[in-house]
Copies of this chain bind each other. A is one copy, B any other.
Amino acid sequence: MKNVAIVGLGLLGTSMAMALKDKGIRRLGWTRRGDVRKSLLEKGVIDETADNPDDLLAKADIAVLCLPVPAISEFCAEHAEAFKPNSIVTDIGSVKRVVMRKASEALADSSATFIGSHPMAGTEKTGPDAAFPELYRNAIVFVTPPCGGDPARVRELNDFWKTLDTKPIPIDPDEHDRLVAFTSHISHMIALALTNAVLASAGGERGLRGLACCGAFRDCSRVASSSPAMWREIIERNTENVVDALKGFKHELETLIEAISDGRYDDFENMFADAKKIRDAWMAERYPNLL
């Protein structure tokens, strides 16, 4: 039986522990708060815990750092000596370039190998109480192997992610960060700007605006309820790509505003029809069960 250490028992760490139940894996769980460790052990969400994470890392074939982005490489540096010889250390962070560089540096003198991971899974909520075992199901996981790393360890990590019913996809860390700026980070920025434009700027109309906002606004703004501190840490480490993605979006928005302002409603309808066609095709590819 393989030992997997899950370090950080928030939404992603706790959901991972839940999803690994009865998968032939011993779940060694650690998080800063002793009461959370105790409670999750009692509930059977983890199989073992310890006051000192080093006691778990020494036994772990794979250590998954489910920590905020800056904490990932900090944890590697502070516990570099503790990881089991020849083990795999991975993470769940939303940016990979900076994390790969700093975590690999931190483990330069260790026989443990850092291989980055980014499961495309999450909600706007945080903390162990928001966790649920289906969070990872069918998610894509981007995996960023280090240059010249051992292919056998990458295969082992891929197998781990498959145990969670996810689909690992190898990618270069720079390419990853550019990609997710467009596919994930941009949606968070738009949700934030939409919420502020509709509700924060409403003045005396706030009450009526709140009543008149319904499903379209609710879904479009959902991820504005995410953690501001977490998103600051992500955006700080992916500024250039996020700004590029937002400028591309702004261009689309300006084209749309011009078409409507000029009364070119045929053009507007064609733009909408293009978007509908491409989104319907995407939904059929990615979420056929939701159609």
Interface residue range, chain A:
35 or more
Cα(A269)–Cα(B172), bound, Å: 28
Distance of A123 Cα from B291 Cα, bound (Å): 12
7 A/B residue pairs, CB under 8 Å, sorted by A: A179-B205, A182-B197, A184-B217, A187-B217, A190-B190, A221-B279, A229-B269
Contact with B along A196-224 (1 / 0, CB 8 A): 11111110010011111111111111111
Does any Cβ of B come within 8 Å of A75's Cβ?
A: no
Residues of chain B contacted by A245 (CB below 8 angstroms): 197
Separation of A186 and B199 alpha carbons in the complex (Å): 12
CB–CB A256/B212 < 8 A? no
Return the contact of A279 from the options B197, B225, B263 (Cβ within 8 A): B225
Chain B residues near A282: list those with CB within 8 A.
199, 210, 213
A271 at the interface (CB under 8 A from B): yes
Closest to A122 in B: B215
In the complex, which of the residues A122, A208, A239, A279 has the most CB atoms of chain B within 10 Å of its own CB atom? Answer: A279
Interface residues of A (CB under 8 A from B): 120-123, 139-140, 142, 169, 179-180, 182-184, 186-202, 205, 208-229, 231-232, 235-236, 239, 242-243, 245-254, 256-257, 260-261, 263, 265, 268-276, 278-280, 282-283, 285-287
A220 and B223 contacting across the interface, CB-CB below 8 Å: yes
A197 pairs with B252, CB closer than 8 A: yes
The complex places the Cα of A195 from the Cα of B120 at a distance, in Å, of 18
Structural contact, A213 and B243, CB atoms closer than 8 A? no
B253 touches A193 (CB 8 A): yes
Q: Are A235 and B199 in contact (CB under 8 A)?
A: no
Chain B neighbourhood of A250, CB < 8 A: 250, 253-254, 257
| Closest 3 pairs (CB-CB, A-B) | A228-B272, A183-B212, A187-B216
Q: Taking A256-B193, A257-B246 as contacts, is the C-beta distance between A180 and B225 under 8 angstroms?
A: no
Q: Which residues of B contact A287 (CB under 8 A)?
A: 218
